[in-house]
Structures are given as C-alpha cells and as structure tokens.
Chains A and B, each alone.
Chain A
Amino acid sequence: MAIVTKNTIGTNLDRPPATASGHGAVTLTGVSRQYGGVTAVDNIDLDVADGEFFALLGPSGCGKSTTLRLIAGLELPDGGQIQIGGREMTNVPAHRRPVNTVFQQYALFPHLSIFENVAFGLREARVRRSEIRARVSRMLQLVDLVGRDDSKPRQLSGGMQQRVALARALVLEPRVLLLDEPLAALDRKLRRQMQESIKDIQRKVGTTFVFVTHDQDEAFSMADRVAVMNQGSVDQVGEPRRIYERPRSLFVADFVGVSNKIPARVVRANGDGSYEVSVDSLGTTRVLGVDGLAPDEDAWLVVRPESMEFRVGSTAAALSATVVDVAYMGPQVVYRAATDVAGEVHVIAPGRRSGNASPGEELSVGWQPDAGWLLPRGN
C-alpha cells in the first residue's frame, strides 16, 4: 500500500508562486489592529502574488474586512508593516495608494451619474477629458454596462450597480483590486453569473484581486489561493484543494466542508508526515496528518463524507454504523449514520449508484487510507 505523502497532493502552493518582478503585490508583515480593547487583526503575515486571484475567507468577525481596509489604507495598522508592489506603504493614506476597492454596498455616489461615478478617480488624477471619455467607455463595455451613462445609481438594479462599482475601481488600473464581499447582496443566480464575470475580467485584465467572502463555495470557485481567517489570525493559506484535503486546524476543516471526526490516539510519528494511530475498534493504521503531533496525544482522524463508503461485511479500517437518515439530493445521496465510536457521520454517495442503504440498516463505513487526515484534538 503506497503511502501518499502530502507533497504529492497538488503542488505545494502554501507559498505564493514566484513572479518575475521578484516581489509580491501585497505583503503584510506582523500587522495588527485593535478597536477599543478588541483585537480585530492579530499579528498576521500575508503574501499575495502579482496577478493572482486571492481570497480572504472566514466567518463574520474574523477580521477579513478589517484586513482589507488595512490594505486599502482606510485604516492604519497599530503594528506591523504593509508593502504594496514592493513599496513600503504602512502609513500612506488611502488616496495615495495604488489600490482600489469594490465595496459591499457598492458605495456609488448617488448625486453623480454612472459616467461621473466611473470617471471620479480619473478626475482626481487630472486625466484629460478626452482620455477619460475613452477609458470610461472601454471599462463600461468590459463590465457589460453600455448605454446607461447618464442614469443615476438608484435607477439601476443591484447587479448593474455592482458592475459600475467594479468599473469605477478598475478604470484606475490599480496594482491591487480589493473586493469586500461584493456579491453578498445579490440573489443566488445573479451571484453565480457575477462570480464567473469577475473571474473572466480578472483573467483578461491581469490585475491582482483580493476578494473577501464568508462563502466557501465562492472563495474556492474563484480564487487561485485562499487564506482562511479566524478571530484575527490567518489559520491557513493555500490552493483550495490543499485547504480542503489537508486543513491545518479543525476550524479550517470544519469551515470549508463537513468533517467526520473519528477519535484517534497517536502512537508514533514517522517523520515523513505520516503517523501511526490507534482507533477504537480499528486497531492501528497509518495516516497522514498535520505536523507536530506527539505520541500519546489525542487527535481527530478527519474523513470527508465523499471519501467514506458503505461496506457490506466487515473489513479492516471500517466502523460499524446504523443508518439514521437518507436524503436524496439529485446528484448525490447524503446519509447520516450513527456509529458508536465517532458519533454521527455523514456519507455522500453518487445518486445514480444502486444499492442505496435505508434507515435502520446496519452496515460498515470505511475509507481509503490516504483519505484520512489527522488533526490535534485540543483545537
């Protein structure tokens, strides 16, 4: 049985891809920010590469919006350093940073027309009128909003306003474009369309995008790399696949998907990223896990629902379970089964596979050895 080490899962993209310019688009070093006793951002380091689509993902209150505002310059950090495009910008005010923001509520100027809104930054930069006209038209075409130049924001739908906000920020050709949960106010179908539009635009324009969201689906579908934040700190940074399959903490594991948690105890660390663990009723197996687990330590063996399968007849590496509930979702069937060792587990199987289990049935659930991932329990 070949042991799959963590290095064979995708490429090791915890670090940003090397760029020609030799420095990242945004670099945060030890940045922190407090508000009256509450630490919103706690000594974080972040490295965003040029041209990448980077997502800040986390629940409300985790500090992701504050981090974005710190990058934009709308807040100044209490400690740490901020570099943009390789230049030191920690104390540079917002209006002098080569960074632009698309706000959650769009923040379009209600007293200005669509054209004037998009042209706002260009006017501040004293660009010539003819050039303003050309650039604004081009940008409105790019976001697919032609012919509404003279309308006021309140005459446009939410989706259109969002595109104006995007155009207004992009027309200035910033080094970094920041997006603060810009799709939160849209309905699901529109959201999906806008996600694809934004992704296309980013590819076309090549600007670095930093996107804040609490929606794991959104972050994963749009971003090249994702930073998962929790209570002011960055728990993990990496490609979506890596975060999903090799989460660094229980919080990350639970935030980006459903985790079945099986109690395990570390027997021995093998030094190559794998551990020998003992699980009740399963004996000892070898699994991959997070660095730094010690012998005799209590841990969780985390398995994703889609990696679990029902096995008839008992084999090694299988738990006995009783099916509690079956939910047919179309493309998938979601099972809930009660085990005596691991509480209630979720199992996801493709919908068209026959031989589905029914409630009350007693079966075994098992998984492939490399589908398990070990995390400390103290988390």
Chain B
Amino acid sequence: MSTAGARAQMPTLLRQRAWRSLRLQALAVPAYFWTVLFFLVPLGILAVYSFGQIDILTYKVHFGWTVQHYVDLGQKLYRDSIFRSLELSFGATLACLVVGLPVAYFISLQRRLLEYVLLIAVIVPFWTSFIVRTYAWIDVLSPGSPLARLATTVGLSRTGLLYNNVAVAIGIVANYLPLMVLPLYIGFKRIDPALREAARDLGAPGRRAFRRVVLPLATPGIVAGCLLVAVPATGEYVIPSILGGGKTEMFGNIVADQFLTVGDYPFGSALAVSVMALLTVFILLIRAASSSFGAEGTS
C-alpha cells in the first residue's frame, strides 16, 4: 500500500521531469544557434570553398572537389610567404616570453601592495584601445622621432624603424605583452615558495634555483602565455597593415587580400584552412609536450 501510492503518481512525476528537462535544454539554444549559424556554418562554407574552383573571368565558383589549391599552397611562393609570416609571429611570441619572464617573476616576488600596483600597471595599457596603441607606434618610430634618431645614431638600424618587420614585431610585443605576463605571473604564484627555499637550502642559489626549480614548475604558465599570444599573433591583421607599410605581409593580410581584393575565395579558403590546421596541430603538440614535461617536473 505504501509504494502503490508513490507509483500511481509516477506518470505525472515523469511528465513534470520531462517538461523541466525540455525547459533546461531550451536555455542552451541561443548559444548553440549563434555558434552554428555564425561560426560553424561559415567555417564549413570556407572548407567547402577550399575545394572549389574559380573562373577568373566571371568570378563564378564551381564546386568541384579539387585539392588544387592546397597543392598550390605548397608552391615555393606561398610556402615561403606563410613561413615568413609564421616566423614573425612566433618570433614575436618568443620575444614576448623573454621580456615577460623577468617582469612576471619580479612582480610575483613583491609584497602584496606593490604586487597589485605593478599588475595593474601592466594591465592598464591593455585596457586602452588596441588600434590606438598600434598606430601610436607610427608616432614613436617615425624617422623624425627621438627614438628613431637614437636608434640610427647608435647604429641599430639602417632602414629606419618603421614600415618593416621590426615595427610589426615591436607592435605585436607591445600589444600582447600583458597577455603573456599575466599567465606567467599566475604560474609563478602557484609555486610554493617553500620549494625555492628548499632548493637554496640544498645548495642551488639564485639563478640555478630559478633554472632548475622555478622555471620547470612555471611551465603551465609559460605554455598558457605562449598560446595566448601565438595564436592571435599569427592571425594579426591590424598591426601588419598599419605598421608594416605594405612590405610586411602576415598571414592575416594575405588571406584578407585573397577575399577582399583578389576575389579568389577558393584559394583564400584553402589558405585559411591550412593555417588553421597548422595552428591546431601546434596547439595539440604543445599541450602534449607540456603535460609530459609537467609530470616530470613535479615527480
């Protein structure tokens, strides 16, 4: 008798639960809708286009299944250009890392008040407009400016600091440095200070303790910082456009050109898909490498 009552209410209970579940699923719809319609579908279209062909005269696209464009990418011309572009972005990422490590480490060593002040000082530039920060380097690097004059007198550069690779690299480092410093800082903070003292106690002072103990343990932070900078830097469009002066073409500009100027959608799509694939492989490799290295470091 006791369970009969509960069981008789089962259909209504089940219906109630089903209704509640439906309402729950409905909440996810807006996010999925936007993702599918404005992210997945466009990318899918890109992928399909990359296998199509364009008639140069009529700009009409035939959707065959050709891998010609991917093959074309292998041509020396494009291959070189892509690699140069990747060189620049990864080089800038490395520069960011080299510059960011001492800064992040220094901040992590400070007392609470100074620590927060320094952190905010590093973040605030990031809060100012991206494009304004970018074009401002034209001011700073133009041949007449104090900095450029200093560089030429010191003999650092012959062709000037502007409208070339150097300017683009400087722009990337300046704009993305906070994105590198923050994960590095967090990575350093995660390390138990007792470990550093233990290293000292066991005979590894200063720089050696840093190299053998702190740096390996900070690897997650380093990886995070590099990913946060390298991926967007690879796809940079604004910085090369403004500071590159037409001579420096990064992947972002080349691809955009194909679509907006040349009009060769299929080729541009192939280009985009290829670099995306490269980036994805790169990310996965880094992830795999860091997890095994991290395990070593903590064992």
Interface residues of A (CB under 8 A from B): 29-30, 77, 79-81, 88, 90-91
Contacts and interface: CB of A to CB of B under 8 A. Distances in A.
Interface stretch (B1-9, B49-57, B131-139, B228-236): B1-9
A77 B2 CA distance: 12
15 contacts: A30-B2, A30-B3, A77-B6, A79-B3, A79-B6, A80-B2, A80-B3, A80-B6, A81-B2, A81-B6, A88-B5, A90-B5, A91-B6, A91-B9, A91-B13
Given A79-B3, A90-B5, 13 more contacts: A29-B2, A30-B2, A30-B3, A77-B6, A79-B6, A80-B6, A81-B2, A81-B3, A81-B5, A81-B6, A88-B5, A91-B6, A91-B13
A77 B3 CA distance: 11
Q: Is the interface of B mostly helix, strand, loop or mixed?
A: helix
Contacts of A88: 5
A80 B3 CA distance: 6
Contacts of A81: 2-3, 5-6
Contacts of A91: 6, 9, 13
B3 to A, nearest CB: 6
**Residue from A29, A79, A91 with most neighbouring chain B CB atoms (10 Å):** A91
Contacts of B2: 29-30, 80-81
Nearest to A31: B2
A80 to B, nearest CB: 7
Interface in B1-46: 2-3, 5-6, 9, 13
A91 B2 CA distance: 12
Interface of B: 2-3, 5-6, 9, 13
Contacts of A30: 2-3
Contacts of A79: 3, 6
A90 B13 CA distance: 12
**Residue from B2, B3, B9 with most neighbouring chain A CB atoms (10 Å):** B2
Contacts of B6: 77, 79-81, 90-91
A90 B2 CA distance: 10
A337 B2 CA distance: 53
Contacts of B9: 91
A319 B115 CA distance: 70
Contacts of A90: 5-6
B206 to A, nearest CB: 42
A321 B154 CA distance: 95
Nearest to A30: B2
A79 B2 CA distance: 9
B8 to A, nearest CB: 10
A30 B3 CA distance: 9
Nearest to B12: A91
Nearest to B6: A90
B7 to A, nearest CB: 9
A21 B77 CA distance: 94
A195 B5 CA distance: 39
Contacts of A80: 2-3, 6
A250 to B, nearest CB: 31
A79 B6 CA distance: 8
Contacts of B13: 91
A253 to B, nearest CB: 32
List 4 A-B pairs, minimum CB-CB distance, nearest first.
A81-B2, A29-B2, A90-B6, A91-B9
A97 to B, nearest CB: 16
Nearest to B4: A81
Contacts of B5: 81, 88, 90
Nearest to B3: A79
Contacts of A29: 2
A4 to B, nearest CB: 39
A154 B9 CA distance: 43
A29 B4 CA distance: 13
A90 B9 CA distance: 10
B235 to A, nearest CB: 42
B17 to A, nearest CB: 10
B33 to A, nearest CB: 32
A79 B3 CA distance: 7
**Residue from B6, B9, B13 with most neighbouring chain A CB atoms (10 Å):** B6
A132 to B, nearest CB: 32
A129 B13 CA distance: 36
A155 to B, nearest CB: 22
B34 to A, nearest CB: 31
A45 to B, nearest CB: 10
A246 to B, nearest CB: 30
A11 B9 CA distance: 41
A93 to B, nearest CB: 10
Nearest to A78: B6
Nearest to B13: A91
A76 B5 CA distance: 14
B296 to A, nearest CB: 36
A29 B6 CA distance: 12
A81 B3 CA distance: 7
Contacts of B3: 30, 79-81
A78 B155 CA distance: 82
B149 to A, nearest CB: 58
Nearest to B1: A81
A77 B13 CA distance: 12
A49 B2 CA distance: 20
A54 B158 CA distance: 89
A16 B2 CA distance: 21
Nearest to A77: B6
A305 to B, nearest CB: 43
A252 to B, nearest CB: 27
A153 B9 CA distance: 41
Nearest to B2: A81
Nearest to A29: B2
Nearest to B7: A79
Nearest to B9: A91
A77 B9 CA distance: 13
A96 B139 CA distance: 69
